[in-house]
Amino acid sequence: MGITLGRLQEEQFDDAAALIHASTNAWYLKNTGRVAFGCEPSGCRLFPDTYHALDAGQCITATDDATGTLIGTCHLHLR
């Protein structure tokens, strides 16, 4: 599987929200027996929106080359 790294674009914000929702809930369900987010995936849109407001262009993405699916994000906030 090939992976392309890039910067989160505004048209990817909904995909990033869905990824954060799914991955965080999967981790919490496995490790605590409950989910972290009871909302719809769109409720996690606050994360990419906030990342962009704090440090536009500083969220790194990983995209699956075969499917074009966003498979990872990492927000960089230098201090």
- Using an 8 Å Cβ cutoff, are 47 and 56 in contact? no
Backbone φ and ψ of 25, nearest 5° = -65, -35
How would residue 77 be classed by pLDDT, with cut points 50, 70 and 90?
A: confident
Residue 1 pLDDT exceeds 80: no
Dist CA 24 CA 34 (whole Å): 11
**Percent of the chain with pLDDT strictly greater than 70:** 99
- How many Cα atoms are found within 13 Å in the side-chain-facing hemisphere of 48? 26
Whole-number mean pLDDT of the chain?
Answer: 95
Residue 79 pLDDT exceeds 80: no
